[in-house]
């Protein structure tokens, strides 16, 4: 695959995303702390919320980033699995492209006693066998994840951290494929988002809505993805480090996943992004497969 084609794909995807996702400028002066007279700079969540509130106030229809938007043109996965029966005649490559588009749109502000907002969020994660000319460079997997979220401002002290946000959401996730490759599930979750200085912690338990045996494409998904996840984010200068952990808490058949990422500045408006994933459930098609992936690319935004 020529390098020019890889660069063209990266530029096209990032340009398309940038037309519909607006983010507050990275070099904008941080918002002042909420507590008057305090000289310390605002912490991560306070800073991001303040910047987004100002941007939303100036343009109420503004679409904001939700999770990081990135493209890793080159990633290596230790086991990409097998080609579906409809695609016989070749093998899947260990090297593929991974990219994510994620945004949120405020729907209603201050609908819960002036202390809560309703949001719509959407995340799309794709794995692209772009170097696999033998199979005509197919998309190996795409996950679609719309969410409806109620977000509340909080001010709770928990184990030395300050819980700043409580987000309660309904989420559907599926890969939009037909049997036998169809995967989907529906959940309700509570996301407790805490902070202290340059560190933020998300504790996100969820409950899966049960489905009938005839409709359930992946009845054992909780055996691999568990009942929640924890993510920690640390910002050092212009670098953002993130670690996500899942575990099914079944000590007889213990399964989980670890995702590590590092975002770092390249130039104004462009962020370097590298990621390591190991375990179960990187995507729905691999929810019950233990894989390891490492990749590097560029991002439009970070967690903070």
Give the H or E element holding residue 6. Answer: helix 3-20
Q: How confident is the model over 92-144, as pLDDT tens digits?
A: 999 999 999 999 998 888 777 677 889 999 999 999 999 999 999 999 999 99
**Residue 81 to residue 44: CA distance in whole angstroms:** 39
The answer to the question of residue 289 being in a domain is yes
Catalytic site includes residue 18: no
Catalytic site includes residue 174: yes
CA 110 to chain centre: 25
Look at 24-38, 69-83, 224-238, 279-293 and tell me which has the smallest mean pLDDT. 24-38
Q: Which one of 50, 137, 174, 182 is the catalytic residue? A: 174
What average pLDDT does range 2-6 have in this prediction?
44
Spatial CB neighbours of 289, under 8 Å, sequence gap ≥ 6: 79, 81, 280
The answer to the question of residue 72 being in a domain is yes
Look at 12-16, 79-83, 190-194, 215-219 and tell me which has the smallest mean pLDDT. 12-16
Q: Is 252 exposed, middle or buried (CB count within 10 Å of its CB: 0-12, 13-18, 19+)? A: exposed
Of residues 127, 177, 92, 167, the one with CA closest to residue 277 = 127
User: Binning pLDDT at 50, 70 and 90, where does residue 21 land?
Assistant: very low
Q: Which one of 50, 137, 172, 182 is the catalytic residue? A: 172
How many domains, in total, are found in the chain? 1
**Residue 165 to residue 156: CA distance in whole angstroms:** 9
The rounded radius of gyration (Å) of the Cα atoms in the chain is: 20
**Residue 301 to residue 66: CA distance in whole angstroms:** 9
C-alpha distance from residue 54 to each of 119, 120, 200, 227 (Å):
16, 19, 21, 35
CATH number at residue 128: 2.40.230.10
The answer to the question of residue 70 being in a domain is yes
The answer to the question of residue 304 being in a domain is no
The answer to the question of residue 100 being in a domain is yes
276 is in which domain, residue-wise?
3-299
What predicted TM-score, i.e. pTM, was given to this entire model?
0.86
Q: How confident is the model over 183-240, as pLDDT tens digits?
A: 999 999 999 999 999 999 999 999 999 999 888 999 999 999 999 999 999 999 999 9
């Amino acid at each position: 695959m020529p390098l020019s084609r890889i660069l063209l794909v990266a530029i096209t995807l990032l340009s398309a995303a940038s037309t519909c996702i607006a983010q507050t400028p990275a070099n904008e002066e941080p918002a002042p702390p909420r507590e008057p007279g305090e000289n310390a700079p605002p912490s991560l969540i306070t800073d991001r919320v303040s910047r987004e509130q100002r941007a939303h106030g100036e343009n109420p229809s503004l679409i904001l980033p939700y999770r990081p938007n990135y493209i890793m043109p080159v990633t290596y996965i230790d086991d990409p699995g097998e080609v579906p029966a409809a695609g016989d005649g070749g093998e899947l490559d260990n090297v593929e492209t991974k990219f994510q588009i994620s945004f949120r749109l405020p729907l209603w502000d201050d609908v819960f006693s002036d202390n809560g907002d309703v949001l719509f969020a959407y995340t799309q994660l794709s794995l692209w066998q772009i170097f696999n000319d033998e199979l005509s460079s197919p998309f190996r997997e795409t996950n679609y994840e719309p969410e409806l979220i109620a977000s509340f401002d909080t001010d709770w002290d928990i184990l030395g951290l300050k819980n700043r946000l409580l987000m309660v959401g309904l989420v559907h996730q599926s890969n939009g494929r037909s049997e036998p490759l169809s995967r989907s599930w529906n959940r309700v979750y509570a996301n407790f988002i805490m902070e202290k200085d340059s560190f933020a912690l998300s504790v996100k338990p969820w409950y899966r809505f049960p489905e009938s045996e005839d409709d359930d494409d992946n009845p054992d998904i909780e055996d691999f993805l568990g009942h929640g996840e924890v993510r920690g984010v640390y910002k050092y200068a212009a670098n953002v480090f993130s670690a996500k952990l899942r575990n099914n808490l079944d000590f007889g058949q213990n399964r989980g996943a670890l995702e590590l990422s590092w975002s770092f500045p390249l130039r104004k408006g462009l962020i370097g992004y590298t990621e390591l994933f190991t375990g179960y459930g990187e995507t729905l098609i691999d929810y019950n497969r233990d894989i390891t992936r490492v990749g590097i690319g560029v991002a439009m935004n970070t967690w903070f």
